[in-house]
Amino acid sequence: MSLVTFDAGPMRTERQEITPYELAAGFDSGSHAHPAEETVYVLSGRIRVTLGGESYEVEARAGSFHPSGVEHAVEALEDSKVVSFKNVVEED
């Protein structure tokens, strides 16, 4: 499954990035980490988040916080629309 950005894509300032995504059921981001803190808010649908080895479900009108540098993955349990909020971190 592929990740599809809907609307105009990411909105970015010097300090934050806000990106809306449309996730098809079955999408799996795979485990990854990044230097940015991230909050994912679910507009519609349902996702499973695995964060630091612990898994939980997030439904519409709820969110999940992913600390900087912590391994995490997102799986769409059904077609979902989510918004990712990240602080911008300049990498060396």
- Evaluated on CA atoms 4, 25, 47, 55, the torsion sign reads negative
**Positive or negative, the Cα torsion across 29, 7, 87, 47?**
negative
pTM for the model stands at 0.86
* pLDDT tens-place string over residues 32-81: 999 999 999 999 999 999 999 999 999 999 999 999 999 999 999 999 99
For the chain, first and last CA: distance in Å?
Answer: 31
15, amino acid identity: R
- Sketch the domain layout of the chain as residue ranges: 3-63
Cα–Cα distance, 30 to 74 (Å, whole number): 7
